[in-house]
Amino acid sequence: MSTIIIIRDHRFFGSGFVDVMVRMLSATGFTVVAAYAMIQFLPLDVNDKGFVILGTKLVLITAVTFAVYLLVSLMLRLEEPKPIVDRIKRIVLKPVKIQ
């Protein structure tokens, strides 16, 4: 597939593409470290039974991992988190109507 892309568009794998790929890999690396740290902090044990205990641990691990990826992506000026941040701003900053 990449051979076809290179033949058709010589500039596709240029410096801009490589720059974005390096930034994405950097954000992914920080996210992996954060996920690993959360799993070490909140290990999933065999004795964890019940929706509340497992659900809480999984939600916390997922939330921290997502937040780290979002923040690192913003710091690295990637385009990926912008729609998510815009949606969060729209929900949080929505005017309250009192009737």
The gap between the terminal CA atoms of the chain, to the nearest Å, is: 58
How does pLDDT run across 18-77, given as a tens digit for each residue? 899 999 999 999 999 999 999 999 998 888 888 898 999 999 999 999 999 999 999 999
- Domains of the chain, by residue range, sit at 18-92
- Residue 56 CB neighbour total at 10 angstroms: 13
Of 98 and 58, more confident? 58
Structure tokens at 77: 């000026």
For residues 78-87, average pLDDT: 92
